Amino acid sequence: MKTVLSGVKPTGVPHIGNYFGAMKQFVQLQEQGNELFIFIADYHALTSVHDAAEMRANTRSVALDYLGVGLDPARIALFRQSDVPEVTELSWILGCVCPKGMMDRAHAFKDAQAKNESVNIGLYTYPVLMAADILIYDADLVPVGQDQKQHVEYAQDLQEKFNHTFSCDALKRPEPMIGALSATVIGLDGRKMSKSYDNTIELFEPKKSFDKKIKSIVTDSTPVEEPKDPENCSVFKLYKLFDPAGAPALAEKYRAGGMGYGHAKNFLIEAADRELNPHRERRAKFEADPSLVEKILADGAEKARAKACKTMERVRKAVGIS
């Protein structure tokens, strides 16, 4: 059994790309018997969210989304980052051994600079807090995309720097888990699904809107009666994610001719419903019971704090703080 750690910022609505790129894999890791710590990164969100009501609503929405897709609170820890105050204590201690040059090289800081965006200290020191998130739970594995690998590398660097500085083994080295988040999901316009391209299909948006977006997926002008290449069709690429077993049969319909893209989109809607309807129903049940969701987050924080406190005992002893 491995300890797996991941966090999600409560700053947006998840889409199909997030589901296949991350959320579904977390459920699979759960089913494999791993020890999962999934936190809602409200401290991280404070770098950009400055409205209390928005923060509370977004945090609750993230909890509902993750419970909806099948994370089992009896087997994993789902919690708010801010409910484990030890993480900010560790972040400060790590910051006291972190070279300034590491922060200057951080992707988020460099991107903001390149765009002439305002940079607050929270954004600048973001990687240190993220390292604390990873290290405080003795994470073995951190599922990340290739573009987020630097966060884990920084955690590795700070783990090594801390242990060397204080001649101890208080912090455990984590490893990135790149393969777990490898799915590339095509958006409505044929590019990678991304909020920045405005080409997403929200995971839990109303059914009518969900179907309308699928029907708006861009396709070519090949006539109904002509054969079509499934591998060059965004509709088919999405279908393969929702129904891998049924994809070969649909591919044959493409190549045989006589099937229009409208038919293919209807097949995609049906496949998406088979996959997502249980998630929609599960999320709705949790949404109808706010007190249960709050209890789940509190229980998750209790599990997380139990582990975080053990780490901080080692850290405090190493640095001489009682």
Per this entry, what is the length of the chain?
A: 322
Q: What is the pTM of this model?
A: 0.91
The class of domain 3-184+290-319 in CATH terms is: alpha beta
3-184+290-319 and 195-283 in the same fold? no
Looking up tokens 């079509």 gives: 228
Rounded alpha-carbon distances, angstroms, from residue 256 to 23, 73, 133, 224, 229: 35, 47, 53, 11, 10
Question: Which of these, 18, 52, 49, lies nearest to 123 by C-alpha position?
Answer: 49
Q: Which are the contacts of 217, defined by CB distance < 8 A and separation ≥ 6?
A: 188, 234, 235, 238, 265
Looking up tokens 């090289």 gives: 105
Domain ranges of the chain: 3-184+290-319, 195-283
CA distance 289 to 322: 42
CA distance 171 to 162: 8
DSSP string across 43-54 = HHHTTT---HHH
Q: Which CATH number applies to 195-283: 1.20.59.10, 3.50.50.60, 1.10.240.10, 2.102.10.10?
A: 1.10.240.10
CA distance 218 to 120: 40
**Segment 38-62, tens digit of pLDDT:** 999 999 999 999 999 999 999 999 9
CA distance 253 to 226: 11
Question: Which of these, 245, 290, 320, 270, lies nearest to 59 by C-alpha position?
Answer: 290
DSSP string across 57-90 = HHHHHHHHHHHHTT--TTTSEEEEGGG-THHHHH
**3 SS3 class:** strand
Secondary structure letter of residue 269 according to DSSP:
H
Q: Which are the contacts of 88, defined by CB distance < 8 A and separation ≥ 6?
A: 43, 129, 132
State residue 133 phi and psi, 5-degree precision.
Answer: -55, -40
| Residue 182 confidence (pLDDT) | 54
Residues with pLDDT less than 70, the chain: 179-183
**Strand stretches in 71-170, DSSP E:** 77-80, 141-143
